[in-house]
Amino acid sequence: MKILILTYGTRGDVQPFIALSKALQEDGHSVTLATASRFAPLVATHDVNFAPLGDGLLSIIDTQQGRQAMEGANGFLGMIKTNLKLMKRVKPLQAELVQDCWDVAEKVRPDLIVFHPKAFAAYAISERMKVPLVMALLIPMLVPTNTTAHLGFPKLKLGRLYNRLTHQAVQLLMRMPARKTLNHWRTSHGFGKQPLELFKDGTGAQIPIVAGFSEAVIDRPADWPPNLFMGGFWFLQSNVTDALSEEVETFLNEGDPPICFGFGSMVGSDPMRLRKTILGALEETGQRGLILSGWGGVPKGQTHDLVLEVNSAPHDLLLPRVLAMVHHGGAGTTAAALRAGVSQIIIPFMGDQPFWGQRMKELGVAPDPIRQKDLTITNLKGALDRIVNEPSFYVSALKLSKTIKSENGGQDAASFIKRVWAERSSRSA
Nearest alpha-carbon partner for 377 in 284, 261, 269? 284
Reported as a pLDDT band with limits 50, 70 and 90, residue 82 is low
Reported as a pLDDT band with limits 50, 70 and 90, residue 83 is low
Residue 215 resides in a domain: yes
- Taking 70 as the threshold, does the pLDDT of residue 149 lie above it? yes
Rounded distance between C-alpha atoms, residue 219 and residue 230, angstroms = 11
The pLDDT of 297-302, averaged and rounded, is: 52
Q: Give pLDDT, residue 20.
A: 97
Angstrom CA distances, 157 to 143, 154, 315, 368, stand at 20, 9, 39, 22
pLDDT tens by residue, 251-273: 999 999 999 999 876 655 567 88
| Domain residue limits at 362 | 246-406
Domain check: are 128 and 277 in the same one?
no
The pLDDT of 143-149, averaged and rounded, is: 89
Residue 238 resides in a domain: no
Q: Give pLDDT, residue 178.
A: 87
In total, how many domains does the chain have? 2
User: In terms of DSSP H, where are the helices of 109-206?
Assistant: 121-129, 159-188
Domain check: are 368 and 322 in the same one?
yes
> Letter for the amino acid at 338?
L
Answer for the pair 421, 1: CB distance below 8 angstroms, yes or no.
yes
Domain check: are 383 and 273 in the same one?
yes
Which residues 6+ apart lie within 8 Å of 313 measured at CB? Answer: 244, 245, 248, 290, 292
Residue 198 resides in a domain: yes
Domain check: are 414 and 390 in the same one?
no
Domain check: are 327 and 414 in the same one?
no
Nearest alpha-carbon partner for 97 in 48, 143, 55, 127? 55
From the CB of residue 305, how many other CB atoms can be counted at a distance below 10 Å?
Answer: 9
pLDDT tens by residue, 266-299: 655 567 888 899 999 999 999 999 999 865 555 5
pLDDT tens by residue, 372-391: 889 999 999 999 999 999 99
Domain check: are 228 and 254 in the same one?
no
Domain check: are 93 and 131 in the same one?
yes
Q: Which residue has the higher pLDDT, 118 or 73?
A: 118
pLDDT tens by residue, 90-108: 778 888 999 999 999 999 9
Domain check: are 218 and 333 in the same one?
no
Residue 240 resides in a domain: no
Between vectors from CA 89 to CA 168 and to CA 92, what angle results, nearest 5°? Answer: 80
Handedness of CA 90, 93, 94, 95 (dihedral sign): positive
Q: Give pLDDT, residue 171.
A: 86
Domain check: are 105 and 124 in the same one?
yes
Q: Percent of the chain having pLDDT more than 70?
A: 88
Rounded distance between C-alpha atoms, residue 323 and residue 344, angstroms = 9
Q: Which residue has the higher pLDDT, 368 or 268?
A: 368
Angstrom CA distances, 164 to 76, 161, 167, 293, stand at 14, 5, 5, 40
53-71 in b/e form (b: 16+ CB < 10 A) is bbebbbebbeeeebbebbb
Residue 239 resides in a domain: no
Residue 398 resides in a domain: yes
Q: H/E element holding 345?
A: strand 343-346
| pTM of the model as a whole | 0.90
- Taking 60 as the threshold, does the pLDDT of residue 68 lie above it? no
- Taking 60 as the threshold, does the pLDDT of residue 135 lie above it? yes
Provide the 8-state DSSP code for 344.
Answer: E
Which residues 6+ apart lie within 8 Å of 72 measured at CB? Answer: 78, 81, 82, 85, 350
Handedness of CA 394, 219, 12, 327 (dihedral sign): negative
- Taking 80 as the threshold, does the pLDDT of residue 80 lie above it? no
Q: Give pLDDT, residue 337.
A: 97
Domain check: are 314 and 383 in the same one?
yes
Residue 124 resides in a domain: yes
Q: Give pLDDT, residue 107.
A: 97
- Taking 80 as the threshold, does the pLDDT of residue 241 lie above it? no
Rounded distance between C-alpha atoms, residue 376 and residue 369, angstroms = 13
Domain check: are 91 and 147 in the same one?
yes
Domain check: are 225 and 294 in the same one?
no
Answer for the pair 354, 360: CB distance below 8 angstroms, yes or no.
no
Rounded distance between C-alpha atoms, residue 413 and residue 254, angstroms = 41
Q: Which residue has the higher pLDDT, 24 or 311?
A: 24
CATH number, domain with residue 358: 3.40.50.2000
pLDDT tens by residue, 22-57: 999 999 999 999 999 999 999 999 999 999 999 887
Residue 241 resides in a domain: no
Answer for the pair 407, 214: CB distance below 8 angstroms, yes or no.
yes
pLDDT tens by residue, 8-20: 988 888 999 999 9
From the CB of residue 364, how many other CB atoms can be counted at a distance below 10 Å?
Answer: 15
Calculate the average pLDDT of the chain.
88
Rounded distance between C-alpha atoms, residue 146 and residue 51, angstroms = 39
Q: Give pLDDT, residue 281.
A: 95
